[in-house]
Amino acid sequence: MKLYRFNARYAGQHITTDVNAHNDDEAKINFINELKEGRGTWRKEITYSPSKVFITYEEINDDGNVTVSVTKKDQLGIQVESVVS
């Protein structure tokens, strides 16, 4: 079982919650379930556009280190991935 930390920003809210899962796909489903149940830390935030949704997640390793994987598409549509440990 792995521990994942999710951050979501939408409509002036910043939601943070940690979920346990066996893999990334299960973590996403568990995150949605947490939101439906109103769990997580919710706080107002005005730095992001209220009409856009930003969601990031990261796996938290047993040793306390965080591994972040960021995937994006550049202007040509080529997928670029960077991993930060």
Spatial distance between the Cα atoms of 2 and 11, rounded to a whole number of angstroms = 29
Per-residue pLDDT tens for 16-55?
999 999 999 999 999 999 999 999 999 998 776 777 888 9
Token pair of 73, please? 């598409």
Q: How confident is the model at residue 72 (pLDDT cuts 50, 70, 90)?
A: very low
Range of the domain at 55: 2-84
pLDDT at residue number 66: 56
Number of domains in the chain: 1
CB atoms within 10 A of CB 12: 13
Sheet holding 41-44, edge to edge: 41-44, 13-21, 2-10, 54-60, 66-73, 79-84
Q: Amino acid identity, residue 79?
A: Q
